[in-house]
Structure 1
Amino acid sequence: MNEFWFVPKQTGYGAVPSTWEGYTLVGAFLFIVLVCAFTAIRREKTYSSIVSPPVKVIAVSTIIFVVVCAWETDGSWG
């Protein structure tokens, strides 16, 4: 039951999915990024702050995604 979701890449830095949970996490992350990107493009001129809410969601999602990937990887990324 303690199966890792990702394995380290053979060359380079990072990890690749190895289970359905890993692929689901990558798919959910890509879905969030695409929805936020399209939302930011459609409503480009309606935000009054320097950093729009969709960009903030992408930033937080990326941090969470990287932490979960590192935590669920069998070995190190280096």
Structure 2
Amino acid sequence: MSEPPIQRFWFRPRTFGIGATPVTWEGWLVTLAFVVLITVTVSYGAPWGQGPRAVLAYLHTRHNVGFHDIWPQHAPVVMAVVVEIAGFIALVRWKTSGPWLPH
């Protein structure tokens, strides 16, 4: 009988706290891709490309009005970020060599 393939883990559990740390190039690549994906998603939903006055007006409005009044226009971006984070956590958990227990 042939042996089942050995699963190669990309992450190891953190020494302190909950979570995992990349230990192979695949783990580092996935982490870098996640950071780039989140950055692109958030940049897509922010008014950064419209100049500094638009950014200041956005921040001022958000501060004065409150997040709940701006929610409808940002809901797709917020939901995309939530899905991306959940997917990243699931992938990291699947490719981690042990449990994520607090130490």
Asked if TM exceeds 0.5, the reply is yes
CA distance in 2, matches of 1:69, 1:37: 22
Percentage identity across aligned positions? 30
Query: Of residues 13, 35, 39 in structure 2, which corresponds to 1:8?
Result: 13
Runs of 5+ in structure 2 lacking a partner?
1-5, 49-57, 59-69
Residues paired across the two proteins, number: 76
Larger Rg: 2
Runs of 5+ in structure 1 lacking a partner?
none
Match in the other structure for 1:41: 46
Query: Of residues 8, 18, 30 in structure 2, which corresponds to 1:25?
Result: 30
Compute the TM-score of the two structures, normalised by the length of structure 2.
0.65
Compute the TM-score of the two structures, normalised by the length of structure 1.
0.83
Match in the other structure for 2:89: 66
Q: Which amino acid aligns with 1:26?
A: T
The change in CA–CA distance for 1:48 and 1:70 in structure 2 (over 3 A counts) is: closer
CA distance in 2, matches of 1:48, 1:14: 30
The change in CA–CA distance for 1:48 and 1:15 in structure 2 (over 3 A counts) is: closer
| Residues 1:56 and 2:79 are matched in the alignment | yes
Q: Which amino acid aligns with 1:52?
A: A
Secondary structure of the 1:52 match is helix
Alpha-carbon offset, residue 48 of structure 1: 8.6
